[in-house]
Amino acid sequence: MSTYFIGDLHGCYDQFRYLLEKVNFNSFKDELWITGDLVGRGPSSYDVLKYVLSLNNVKLVLGNHDLNLILLYYGIQKKSIEKEISELLNNNNLEFIITKLKKIPLVQYDKKRKLIMSHAGIFPKWDLNEIIKFSTLSEKILSGKNFLKYLSYMNGDFPNFYFYKLNKYNIFRFSINSFTRMRYCYINGELDFSYKDKPPHFNKNIFPWFNINNKLDKNYSIFFGHWASLGNTTTPENIFPLDSGCCWNRYLTILRWEDKKIFKKKCNLNI
């Protein structure tokens, strides 16, 4: 058995299948962790969704583009500017897909092997119990009966700081932002959404979330996507950025955990 981690797929179905074949992935023996953003930007979002949701031994997390699809489906986001997503919204199987997506967590973890994954990263002011607590809370909301009430509160940059007196809607929004949109933080943990490029930042008071001391056990290895512009930015040795910009005609990347070997597929999407 091998454990594979792959970055944001963004509808890049052919490149995804190529890499799985290259590493001889066996869905009955091997385990596949995917950093989210299954859809959007690339040409084959439906094919990615259909295939991923059929796999055994796959660990998924929601990305911001996956959440955006859910908002579009329920009419909270009014329209998509992407042709492929607009076509996906008219797919006959979309109700089944949305039902599946709403049950996907924001965090996957393995305490025994000390592995943890979310789409954007791990909020540095939360310990493991808090990470699990707020991921579980969000998962229950999205898959629960009253989810529509919460979805209308999901968008927005604020609150961008966690404190215990936040109401349930703001805790939900902050959790979504931390796990699916976060890049830069102030030392005190306040999130900053003003800049998406790689560090260093012109504002010397904000830092990549992974460069701020966190409460998570240092023995944990953290896997994330979302930040394609990081490129070759150096991260701490236990931090593994996996979004290498396939949808921007760069690469799709898969990491085999047991020997830390990395495989890449060049992407030429003509989009």
Quick one: pLDDT band at residue 74, thresholds 50, 70, 90? very high
pLDDT for 79 equals 75
Nearest CA among 1, 69, 10 for reference residue 247: 10
What 8-state DSSP symbol labels residue 4? E
Quick one: pLDDT band at residue 269, thresholds 50, 70, 90? confident
**8 vs 76: CA distance, rounded Å:** 24
The mean pLDDT value for 236-254 works out to 96
Nearest CA among 183, 193, 185 for reference residue 241: 183
pLDDT for 83 equals 84
Q: Per residue in 122-175, pLDDT tens? A: 999 999 999 999 999 999 999 999 999 999 889 899 999 998 899 999 999 999
Q: Is the pLDDT of residue 271 over 60?
A: no
pLDDT for 81 equals 77
Q: Is the pLDDT of residue 224 over 60?
A: yes
DSSP-assigned beta bridge partners for residue 107 = 118
Quick one: pLDDT band at residue 208, thresholds 50, 70, 90? very high
- Three-class secondary structure of residue 5 per DSSP: strand
**125 vs 264: CA distance, rounded Å:** 33
pLDDT for 109 equals 98
Nearest CA among 180, 99, 212 for reference residue 147: 99
pLDDT for 20 equals 98
pLDDT for 102 equals 97
Q: Per residue in 195-205, pLDDT tens? A: 999 998 889 99
Q: Is the pLDDT of residue 75 over 90?
A: yes
Quick one: pLDDT band at residue 268, thresholds 50, 70, 90? confident
**85 vs 64: CA distance, rounded Å:** 14
Burial 72-108 (b: 16+ CB within 10 A, else e): bbeeebeebebebbeebeeeeebeebbeebbebbbbb
pLDDT for 270 equals 65
Any alpha helices (H) in the chain, and if so which ranges? 13-22, 45-52, 64-73, 83-88, 94-101, 128-143, 147-151, 168-180
Structural domains of the chain in order of their starting residue, each with its CATH number: 3-143+216-266 (3.60.21.10)
Nearest CA among 169, 61, 175, 159 for reference residue 123: 175
Nearest CA among 34, 40, 32 for reference residue 88: 40
Quick one: pLDDT band at residue 84, thresholds 50, 70, 90? confident
pLDDT for 62 equals 98
Q: Is the pLDDT of residue 41 over 60?
A: yes
Share of the chain above pLDDT 70, in %: 99
